[in-house]
Amino acid sequence: MHKPSGHLLAGFAALGAGALHASAVGLHAENPQLARIFVVMTLLQLGVGVALVLRPRATFLAASLIVNTLAVGGWLLTRLVGISWVDGLEVREGPQIADTLCAGLGALSAALALGLLVVGSTPLAAPRSLNASLPLAAVGLAVVIGLWNGATHVHDHGGDLASGTDHHSDSTASGDGHDHSSSGVALATGETASDVATHDHATNWPRPYDPSVGIDISGVDGVSAEQESRARELILATQRELPRWSDYDEAVAQGWVSIGDESTGHEHLVNRRLIVDGKFLDPTAPESLVYEVDGSNKTLVSAMFMADIGMAVDDPKLTDFAGPLMQWHVHDNLCFRTNAEGRSVVAGVLDAQGNCPSGSTLGGIGIAMVHVWIAPHPCGPFAALEGEGAGRAAVSDNERVDMCAHDHGADSGSLSVAASEADTGAARIDLSGMPGVLPDERRRAEDLLYSTRTVLPKFADTATAEAAGFTTIGDGATGYEHYINWKYINDEHELNPEFPESLVYQIDPATRQKKLVSAMFMMGDEYTLETVPNVGGPLTQWHIHNNLCFSRDPAVFGSTRVVGVTAPNGSCQFGVKLRENPMIHVWIVPHKCGPFAALEGVGAGQVRAGEEQLCDHAHAGA
């Protein structure tokens, strides 16, 4: 009987490793740098594999040795120390079935190639006997197993939650004692939240939560004694264990990485290694840490625990843990981009047409998650963030027990959710009530308003603004003076109050004092009124200025001033016209035409053809 050719086995092993690398590309789409590395490794391994199968030459053996040694070496690094310069591989990860089989096949191909180069071999014809086919079948089986386990993960979620042990040994804590395999994304396309699952809504929950005065989760409708006990133990364990990461820099040093959402007022740090560590609701290994951001101060306020990849948000393993006390949610509409440091950060959310902001791509895979707070929260210890931060659950917003956006009969406390539609000046106000505004549009508008009112006051002093690069355009005679940072207009930041393109100060006519009242966000040169991102639908109206004349080009000189308006034919008799960058105001003080109103007169600019200037009386301020 013939023995299988070493060249042929080396080739098929490389092909198998390449196939497994190909399957990993989609799973890491939220990290473009890592996904591209997998694409390159896929092409290289498939290429040398095909070459060895068809043309067994020493050159191809050497190529397989180099390619697969690099692949296996990279895998070993990620399992031992991590690779700091590759986004997604910064910290060490535990070996999984799929990646271990991929590395094993690569190692087999490299070892065979090295042996054949050193010892030499005469390639034989394609194997026809049982002896020849068995090794090749083994390679094929390894690939199938790797692909199957790369697409789905099955984990048992029992265990001692308070002590933070692995959840592989005891399945009674979650209620049913059964394993639940992966079921894909949490919410299917085309389904509404209420279509996905029914929910036993607890009418006497949530309640305000303050760790300093104890935990009141007793007597909630539909909650069993076991569920109440598990919930209480989780809260206590989180209060006990989480403060070890109170130092933001220490958390970063230990492997948690920011997703760049600090402008919302809360910043999430995620440790990717812990997402796949096989632990469930473990306060000693929280997948995400949440810090409240106040200028340069960052205070640890919550853990955000994540379930296994692919576990549905309404899986009984999740919903049975604490019953109606706890609401799991997913983020399946976040768009990511690579920042200047090479990290993947949040760039925005899908618009009504399902498109990401320019330069970003849809990321994440709908991992189910839940917050556990160690700081007071008016909506309970398991409250989600508000607006876009609340994510999507398997029930409607009115049925959720982790949100402050609707009335549960509890005091809203320090979050200052407005009791009426009028703008009270609070950071978070209710923008419902305007016809034609979709739920996602309302949430985006509320989030933008909240982040702007939270962050922008750091520029209250014009001297601070000038030190940061803002210069006046000299329009204070109108009653409002704009300071613009011209470098920000075409940078990587969009609608980010940490990097606002323009600051608007109101001039007191008596004292000439300047009060910061608004941000004016300006889009980059590639945008027009037709291509601006959809923030809040009818709530938010963009405008341009096509009739102003400026003293000089700020792109050349770094600053400029308004010197007049254009002649009837659109030309400037004095000065120059600038590019018509779309812009929008976000007011940090109440405005009679709502929080996104434009200025009046010349300051109002021009809106899209066919539109009228927006004046939002429903959310007007005094």
Span 94-105, pLDDT tens digits:
677 778 888 898
What is the C-alpha R_g of the chain?
A: 29
Non-local (6+) Cβ contacts of 110 within 8 A are 64, 65, 68, 69, 72
Pull the structure tokens for residue 368: 């189910």
Q: By the 8 A CB rule, do 38 and 162 touch? A: no
In whole angstroms, how far apart are CA 180 and each of 166, 193, 311?
16, 21, 8
pLDDT for res 574 = 84
Give the range among 57-61, 154-158, 524-528, 529-533 with minimum mean pLDDT.
154-158
Convert the pLDDT of each residue in 305-356 to its tens digit: 999 887 888 889 999 999 999 999 988 788 888 887 777 888 877 777 778 8
| Domain boundaries defined on the chain | 6-151, 183-331+366-415, 439-545+580-619
Of the CA atoms within 13 Å of residue 473, those in its CB half-sphere come to: 27
**Does the global pTM surpass 0.75?**
no
**If we measure between CA atoms, which residue out of 110, 99, 98 comes closest to residue 14?**
110
Residue 151's contacts (CB-CB under 8 Å, 6 or more residues apart) are 23, 182
CA–CA dist 389, 446 (Å, integer): 11
Q: Are 23 and 98 in contact (CB under 8 A)?
A: yes
Confidence band for 421, pLDDT divided at 50, 70 and 90: low
Q: Residue 88, exposed/middle/buried by CB under 10 A (0-12, 13-18, 19+)?
A: buried
Tens-digit pLDDT profile for residues 284-307: 999 999 999 887 889 999 999 999
Number of other residues whose CB lies within 10 A of the CB of residue 383? 25
Percent of the chain with pLDDT over 70: 78
DSSP-assigned states of every residue in 155-169: B---S-TTTT--SSS
Residue 341 structure tokens: 């440091």
274 phi, psi to nearest 5 deg:
-75, -15
